[in-house]
Amino acid sequence: MIRMAVFLGNTGRGYASTRHNAGFMLADHLFPSASYSVKFHSAYAKEGGLVILKPLTQMNLSGTAVSEAATFFKIPSEEILVVHDDLEIPLGKAVWRLGGGLQGHNGLRSIKERIGTAAFWRLRIGIGRPVHGDVANYVLSPFSEEEKAVLEALFHLVKEEWTTRPIDGKEIRTSR
């Protein structure tokens, strides 16, 4: 059972609609009326038995927030879901997975370092990889209007699946 859902992103208006903030964007879609407090270096809320966490650190320091909240609420790693953007998955697709590699994602690396394991659930939101150009600029650039529509459709499908326990390797796609 998932007891804490961590949605990764960067704080600040300049990052609000960027690819790296896909996690924050999904949190806002799933929990539009959540009443957040600031604690654990995060904006956090509780919805039923679920702790919702949006780290207020920069993405690369997300582990600080996750470890503080997990320790406080006594939540083991296998009951944590981390929602994050993923370059290796095409836009319009998301994948549930327990554990796995970090794929160079510094937010995931920070979480693994702080909680001592990579054995936590992930919901990897596809943002695609740029054909040309710098990856750092790409992940920090905003979605186009067309991409936002694809992302919104994906978020609706994720919401439909949200109440079921993630199944390792399960994919969600906007085009079936």
**Active centre residues (catalytic):** 20
Measure the CA dihedral 14/146/163/176, to 10°: -150
CA distance 52 to 155: 17
By the 8 A CB rule, do 75 and 116 touch? no
Give the chain's largest Cα–Cα span.
Answer: 44
In three-state form (DSSP H/G/I as H, E/B as E, the rest C), the secondary structure along 19-57 is: HHHHHHHHHHHHCCCCCCEEECCEEEEEECCEEEEEECC
